[in-house]
Structure 1
Amino acid sequence: MRRRKKPGSEEKLLSKDKLVVAEPERYKGTWHTYFQQKGEIHVEIGTGRGQFLTTMAERNPHINYVGIEMKEEVLLQAVIKAEEKKLQNIAFLWLDANRLTEIFEDSELQRMFINFCDPWPKNRWAKRRLTYRGFLEIYKNLLAASGEIHFKTDNAKLFEFSLNEFSHCDFQLKKITFDLHQSDLQENITTEYEDKFVQMGKPIYRCEARKRN
């Protein structure tokens, strides 16, 4: 079903053309020309309101960040955060993750972040999960040698599913934790959802999956 857009929402986003890329296909394979620097490209799928990605961009000005989000009103909040921080190394794409291969060339990305994606809990929905093997094979092609996927969720069943899918697709798993905020992981950047879940006392599950050379 096609998502119904709220009146004026598209105009609001497209008016932010310095940060929201209206025709991202034209930068496929040449994203360094958009950012005007040849740093690594890190992508967050489902960037939400942008707390995580804008903080990452603020702390790492030498890295280029791309946030992908399909909900326009949510994305607008992320754009506003980036503008307030005057970030020059961030771009936002208003599109579905199914279009990744239209936007990025093979081996163009160094890191991908998937934070608190929809768990799609019913078995018949497994192929919709962003960590399903069909998606993972796409990510693998887009990642450069030794590229990584960093994954966080509050859903134990999704985490178990994802670990199995990463292994099936021959990713090397590392830094697996079943309670992130009680672990010794340094400098964790939180998302809005993560802050909410931690306040509720829920454990956060996290892992890193590296593409084998």
Structure 2
Amino acid sequence: MRLRNKPGATDELLQHPTIVIQHADTMKGKWHDEVFGNRNPIHIEVGTGKGQFLTGMSQLHKDINYVGVEKYDSVIITALERIQEVGVPNFKLLNEDVTNITSYFAEDEVDRVYINFTDPWPKNRHEKRRLTHEGFLRMYEQIMKKNGEIHFKTDNQALFEYSLHSFSKYGMILNNVSLDLHNSDIEGNVMTEYEEKFSRKGMRIYRCEAQFR
């Protein structure tokens, strides 16, 4: 997908340092005390896009701190606008690449990771770029508390099957596996932009939770 450049997006992000955290490597281990000012659990979404999912989650769960990680400033600018519109203090942004996630969070600092509608990278030679590849799982585990969870949603059946295998091979516990989320009994689902688009077309949404041991 080709991203449309938004003139001035980078400068606009820099003007809101209390929402879009700058020099995130200096915040490693300090998210509770210096960024959020509380000891509530921290949930992060890797590839947060335009922020619809975490905006909804932060409104529903005010006792949880959310961090959206998105490397494209032309996309994350919309997430910033959403946060400003609804005024949620428990939702912060990182305009960074998830491949450096261990540089921004300390061991045992994160309780949950959300991966929603990530690029499936279908070619075998690109396997290591998939956000559910064991290389990424290793990084998530490093920053997460014991028994931390990954919540994963996708419209791509091949990626879902790959991810279930990847989670299992890594030794994770699978819970609440759904092959058709919107026709399941799972409650409290907050949709992303892509999820709304795909569900309107009648496409299946696949979801699972994977817990580190």
TM-score per shorter chain, which class?
over 0.9
In the alignment, which residue of structure 2 is the partner of 1:192? 193
Show the 5 A alignment for 1:89-108.
Answer: 89-108=90-109
Superposed displacement of residue 26, structure 1: 1.3
In the alignment, which residue of structure 2 is the partner of 1:164? 165
- Distance in 2 (CA, whole Å) between partners of 1:94 and 1:200 is 31
In the alignment, which residue of structure 2 is the partner of 1:121? 122
Compute the TM-score of the two structures, normalised by the length of structure 2. Answer: 0.95
- Distance in 2 (CA, whole Å) between partners of 1:150 and 1:139 is 12
Task: Tell me the SS of whatever aligns to 2:120.
Answer: coil
Show the 5 A alignment for 1:1-213.
Answer: 7-33=7-33, 34-212=35-213
Figure out how many residues of one structure are paired with residues of the other and give that number. Answer: 210
**Residues 151-177 of structure 1, C-alpha deviations (whole Å, 9 max, x = no match):** 000000000000000011111001001
Superposed displacement of residue 5, structure 1: 6.9
| Structure 2: stretches of 5+ with no match in the other structure | none
Taking only aligned residues, the RMSD between alpha carbons, in angstroms, comes to 1.4
- Distance in 2 (CA, whole Å) between partners of 1:18 and 1:132 is 32
- Distance in 2 (CA, whole Å) between partners of 1:6 and 1:201 is 31
Runs of 4+ off more than 2 Å:
3-9
Task: Tell me the SS of whatever aligns to 2:50.
Answer: coil
Partners of 2:19 and 2:91 within 8 A in 1: yes
| Structure 1: stretches of 5+ with no match in the other structure | none
Task: Tell me the SS of whatever aligns to 2:39.
Answer: coil
- Distance in 1 (CA, whole Å) between partners of 2:24 and 2:5 is 20
One-letter amino acid of the structure 1 residue matched with residue 12 of structure 2 = K
Task: Tell me the SS of whatever aligns to 2:166.
Answer: helix
Partners of 2:102 and 2:142 within 8 A in 1: no
Superposed displacement of residue 73, structure 1: 1.4
Task: Tell me the SS of whatever aligns to 2:119.
Answer: coil
